[in-house]
Structure 1
Amino acid sequence: MAAATQQMSSLPSGFRICTTAPDILYLPELVFGGLVWILVASTLITPNNPQGWVMFVSVFCFVMTFLWLIIFACGGHKNSSAWATADFIYHLIAVIFYLSASVILANVTIGMKDSASLKYYQIDIAAVVFSYIATLLYFIHCILSAVRWKSF
């Protein structure tokens, strides 16, 4: 009976996801990921290919995090250990994606310092800052998900 109680507390559902770690990080991940998406979309997209990767990562992680939040909020995970594993793997992939996108975005921003208008340069700087914040949030979520997965 104690094991069943521990499983219930390992994967919360409903509004409890807004009060437990690491699930409380879903909302900040959505906010900062959405800001990256909006800021990169509002800048002058040069060069196209690296900025395209940043857009893909921010949109992909935003949509997947929103779906993940809905699945956990509706209780669709049924408290199985497979969902704890999938949560850890998804956030690990998100960290790798966001870290690569953040580095690329910072490199593109440094490169456009002299060639772009001040407005686009400042927007790109804000996008870089929010991208690294999103990376940090996904990293913390990944670590806490790994701890939860190991204790499951």
Structure 2
Amino acid sequence: MSSSTSSSTLPSGLAVLTTFPDVLFIPEIIIGGLVWILVASSKVPYPMLQGWVMFVSVFCFVMSISLLCLYLCGAHGGGSCWVALDAICQCTAALFYLSAAVLEAYTTYSLGLFPILAHQYRENIAAVVFAFVATLLYVIHKVFSLLRWKSS
């Protein structure tokens, strides 16, 4: 894989799938979709907390797919404003996912206090793990996007 930090422009076309950090769009979409599915399939004991987790997972899923499609189509035109937009989107997603992962962990901890909800507890544990993995992916993507923005 070639490093995108040596170039200050965003790749377009299929080069998106071979450059780092843009290749992270694929695992971000997959892991974010798993968080979305796991939270949606569990019962919601705390609607406000898990509503935020659902919002974050759906928002980041749609944002990542949208950016990936724009980059694949070459709609960004290679402008420097797109490099800044990419950095802003990745910073926002990392911050949102960190807050969602912590809230989902709190919700799961609260469910663990009631042994009668064991099946629901396992689903939420999986959601917590995938939410923290998604957070890690977005943080890595954010760091390299910021480096690319700084060099542009």
Instruction: List aligned pairs for 1:1-150, cutoff 5 A.
Output: 10-115=9-114, 116-150=116-150
Moved more, 29-38 or 116-125: 116-125
**How many angstroms apart in 1 are the aligned matches of 2:113 and 2:95?**
30
* Letter aligned with residue 54 of structure 1: V
Q: Deviation digits for residues 29-63 of structure 1, max 9, x if unmatched?
A: 00000000000000011111100000000000000
Within 2, Cα distance between the matches of 1:108 and 1:31?
A: 23
Give me the CA root mean square deviation: 1.6
Deviations 1:93-133 (A, max 9, x none): 00110000000000010001032521110000000000000
Structure 1 residue identity aligned to 2:11: P
Residues in 2 aligned to 1:18 and 1:150: alpha-carbon distance in whole angstroms = 22
* Compared CA separation, residues 7 and 82, structure 1 to 2 (3 A): farther
Secondary structure in 2 aligned to 1:112?
A: helix
- The residue identity in structure 2 corresponding to 1:49 is M
Q: Secondary structure at the match of 2:112?
A: coil
Provide structure 1 residue ranges, at least 5 long, that are not aligned to the other structure: 1-5
Give the deviation of 1:140 after TM superposition.
0.3
CA contact (8 A) 1:8 1:79 kept: no
Q: Percent identity?
A: 49
Q: Is the 8 A contact 2:9 2:79 kept in 1?
A: no
Distance 1:96 1:42 in 2: 24
- Count of aligned positions: 147
Which structure 2 residue ranges, 5 or more long, are not aligned? none
With the length of structure 1 as denominator, give the TM-score of the two structures.
0.93
